Structure 1
Amino acid sequence: MVFKRRSPRSFLQWLKNMAYPDGGWQRAGSYVWHRLRRLPDRPERIAKGIAAGVMVSFLPIFGFHFLSAAALAWVLRGNILAALLGTFFGNPFTFPLIVVGAMETGSLILGQGHMATPRRVMSGFKSVWTETMANLHALITPATASWEQTRSFYAEVFLPYMLGGLVVGSIFGVIAYAVSLPIIRAYRARRERKLQKRFERARRAAQKTGQRN
Structure 2
Amino acid sequence: MVFKRRDRRNLLRAIWEVIYPKGGWTRAFHYVKHRVRRLPDSPERIARGIFAGVFTSFTPFFGLHFVVSVLLARIINGNLFASILATFFGNPLTFVPIAYSSLKTGYWLTGMNVDADRVRHGLGEMFYSASHDLWFNFKALFNNKTPEWAGLIEFYNDVFYPYMIGSLIPGVLSGLVCYYLSVPVIRAYQKRRNKGVFKARLARLKEKAAEKSAKKAAEKS
TM beyond 0.5: yes
- Matched residue, 1:149: 151
Q: How does 1:22-61 map to 2 (within 5 A)?
A: 22-61=22-61
The answer to whether 1:20 aligns with 2:13 is: no
Q: Which residue of 1 aligns with 2:201?
A: 199
Residue by residue, what CA displacement relative to the aligned partner does 1:1-46 show, whole Å, maximum 9, x if unpaired?
3332112211111101100111111111111111111111122111
Instruction: Decide which structure has the larger Cα Rg and report it.
Output: 2
How many residues are aligned here? 213
Q: Distance in 1 between matches of 2:212 and 2:149?
A: 83
In the alignment, which of 163, 185, 198 is matched to residue 165 of structure 2?
163
In 1, the alpha carbon distance for the partners of 2:144 and 2:15 equals 36
Q: Which string of whole-angstrom CA distances, capped at 9 and with x for unpartnered residues, describes residues 71-114 of structure 1?
A: 00111111111111010000010111101111111111112341
Matches within 5 A, 1:1-213: 1-113=1-113, 114-116=115-117, 117-139=119-141, 143-208=145-210, 213=217
Percent of aligned pairs with the same amino acid: 41
Amino acid at match of 1:38: R
- Once residues 142 and 90 of structure 1 are traced to their aligned partners in structure 2, the CA distance between those partners, rounded to angstroms, is 40
Shift of 1:127: 0.8
Gaps of 5+ in 2: none
Label 1:177 to 1:148 Cα distance change in 2 as closer, same or farther (>3 A).
same
Is 134-143 or 195-204 further displaced after alignment? 134-143
Partners of 2:179 and 2:30 in 1: how far apart? 18
Q: Write the distance in 1 (CA, Å) between the matches of 2:138 and 2:25.
A: 39
Q: Which runs of 5+ in 1 are unaligned?
A: none
SS in 1 for 2:122: helix
Question: Structure 1 CA distance, aligned partners of 2:197 and 2:145?
Answer: 71
* Alpha-carbon shift at residue 139 of structure 1 (Å): 4.8
1:119-160 alpha-carbon deviations (Å, 9 max, x no partner): 533332221010222234445557543312221211111111
The one-letter code matched in structure 2 to 1:19 is I
